[in-house]
Amino acid sequence: SAAEKGGWSSFMAKEISEEPEAVAKTILGRVHDGLVDLPEVTALGAEVLRGIDRVLIIACGTAAYAGMVGKYAIEQWARIPVDVELAHEFRYREPVLSPNTLVVSISQSGETMDTLMAVKYARERGARTLSICNTQGATIPRESDAVVYTHAGPEVAVASTKAFVAQIAATYLLGLQLGQVRGTLSDDEARGLVAELQEVPEKLRTALGVGERIKDLAHWMANTRSVLFLGRHVGYPVALEGALKLKELAYIHAEGFAAGELKHGPIALIEPGQVVFVLVPSPRDPRSLHSKVVSNIQEIRARGARVIAIAEQGDAAVLPYADEVIRIPLASPFFEPMLAVVPLHYFGMELAAAKGLDVDQPRNLAKSVTVE
Ligand code: G6P
């Protein structure tokens, strides 16, 4: 009903507006003395946590993209190899698992059948299982050895938004906790990262300010048949998430690519007028990925692409090449995905709205897929 939407035009609009709170509430109470304190995780025992030699993240849909972002952070901070697997691909082979494998499932609903069956499978084969879940007491957390709840609040719109940013925050808390226990992060490093994580909600409030601009863009693009998304490092899963939203909501062809893969195939798709969103890494990125992605923009622009760059405040290098520049607040590389996804969530919603489609209940989809 209109009352439940709290004055918003759709649940999705309301839920995007709740992205700052989703992250804030997921962090709340989990930081003590500037360090991460997740008793749900430390209860597994320091010995066990130090012995983990592999993290395997399993999920479906948007939750899997949050897991892909988490992979970069957990590897960097805890120095444990991390793989991300779609739950339905994981289960139907004979995956190699050991008691030193930590299987981390991510699910908003906690009821996705494929994810649930993958968790049970992993558990039966002796792996430790930890669930990141947004629904108290759901089946997946009940079937797991440990659970870290996201506190995004109930998500009603079929396309996941606020749960995504909360899931990223939860994987970061996990990565920091593991890094602290395993000694791969000094207290100073951990405190610095925690402080940046705590700044994300405020930056998200600023990021929400692009809503009107995106609405205009979407109206102008209502007849677009195909949109590509390019990202690199933690921007790559964000590109995948942006593309998924367009498929789910606007029913158009959309694909996300790792920007470095462009010359290995996707660049052949670029023809005049092709719309490409590019997630531009910060110019302060220590791996100098910024200049590589700016080169990608030049390459596709030279072939006639219409480039919409998502770049941090003050990044002037993209201006000569991009047709549109959408700004996000300054943040260090790991904290950009939660901000950069905001314009993409808006874009999916606004393109669907511009086409007169039902934003909350897209055709053929269910909020929670409880069958195989
Ligand atoms: C469905 C929903 C998606 C969601 C996915 C995983 O496909 O439409 O929005 O990302 O399930 O759901 P979960 O509840 O496991 O996060």
**Among 10-24, 237-251, 273-287, the least confident range:** 273-287
CA separation for the pair 166, 198 (Å, rounded): 12
Whether the per-residue pLDDT at 3 is higher than 90: the answer is no
Residue 70 Cβ inside 6 Å of ligand 1? The answer reads: no
Residue 131 Cβ inside 6 Å of ligand 1? The answer reads: no
CA separation for the pair 187, 191 (Å, rounded): 6
Whether the per-residue pLDDT at 289 is higher than 80: the answer is yes
DSSP string, 249-304: II--EEEEEEGGGGGGTGGGG--TT-EEEEEPPPTT-TT-HHHHHHHHHHHHHHTT
Handedness of CA 208, 209, 212, 217 (dihedral sign): negative
Residue 372 or residue 254, greater confidence: 254
Residue 61 Cβ inside 6 Å of ligand 1? The answer reads: yes
CA separation for the pair 165, 27 (Å, rounded): 12
CA of 89 from ligand 1 middle (Å) equals 16
The question of whether 367 is a catalytic residue gets the answer yes
CA of 87 from ligand 1 middle (Å) equals 12
Read off the pLDDT band of 284 (50, 70, 90). confident
The alpha helices in the chain, defined as continuous H runs, are 11-17, 19-27, 39-42, 46-51, 61-78, 87-91, 113-124, 139-142, 162-182, 187-207, 211-220, 235-245, 289-302, 337-354
pLDDT in tens, 316-355: 999 999 999 999 999 999 999 999 999 999 999 999 999 9
pLDDT (average), residues 265-281: 95
- ipTM score assigned to the predicted complex: 0.95
pLDDT (average), residues 21-38: 98
Dihedral pair phi/psi, residue 255, rounded to 5°: -140, 145
CA separation for the pair 256, 200 (Å, rounded): 24
Which residue type sits at 241?
A: E
| Global pTM value | 0.97
Mutation test of ligand 1: which of 369, 370, 371, 372 has the most ligand atoms closer than 8 Å to its C-beta?
Answer: 369
Percent of the chain with pLDDT over 70: 100
Residue 60 Cβ inside 6 Å of ligand 1? The answer reads: yes
CA of 338 from ligand 1 middle (Å) equals 18
pLDDT (average), residues 229-256: 97
Mark 342-361 as b/e (b = at least 16 C-beta within 10 Å): bbbbbbbbbbbbbbeeebbb
